[in-house]
Amino acid sequence: MKEGVGQTSLSRSRICIGSQMVFDFQGNKLITPSLNLGAAVDFWDERDIHFLIGGGMKFKQFPYLSLSAGLAFTRVNVLNKSLQVGQSYDNSNSSIDPSTLQTKKYVPGYFMGLNISF
């Protein structure tokens, strides 16, 4: 029996809970810019750790809330190099282990967040 490898239409975004170190800079009276470094954990899917680096801004009217965005380095499942999307493969051998068809790899992405300072 031949089976094909196809793409999924599932969303690639994940909701995570994380912690960031925030380095505030001097700003004007309304906005304070910051540099953010941190990590986040995806509790709902595969509990992977995501590493974050980016920038943010804190508004003077809301001193305990800030917005941040930047680059994330995220572990995702990728197909092994021997497989290609859109190709059909013979699956008559039932001894194929599905866990060998993909590997985990860190890839760049992005993050957006609402931060609460303690």
In the predicted model, is pLDDT for residue 85 greater than 50? Answer: yes
Q: What is the pLDDT of residue 17?
A: 85
Q: What residue numbers bound the domain in which 42 lies?
A: 2-116
Specify the pLDDT at position 9: 47
The total of structural domains in the chain comes to 1
C-alpha distances (whole Å) from 6 to each of 13, 58, 67, 93, 94 are: 19, 43, 37, 20, 20
Residue 60, both tokens: 């003077």
Given a cut of 90, whether residue 74 has pLDDT beyond it is: no
Distance CA 35, CA 112 (A): 14
- Residue 69 is predicted with a pLDDT of 95
Q: Give pLDDT, residue 49.
A: 86
Burial (Cβ within 10 Å: 0-12, 13-18, ≥19) of residue 112: exposed
pLDDT, tens digit (0-9, with 9 covering 90-100), for 3-62? 444 455 455 677 888 888 888 888 777 888 999 999 999 877 677 888 999 999 988 888
Q: How many CA atoms lie within 13 A of 37 on its CB side?
A: 1
Q: pTM for this one?
A: 0.67
What pLDDT does residue 54 have? 95
Q: Average pLDDT of 88-100?
A: 59
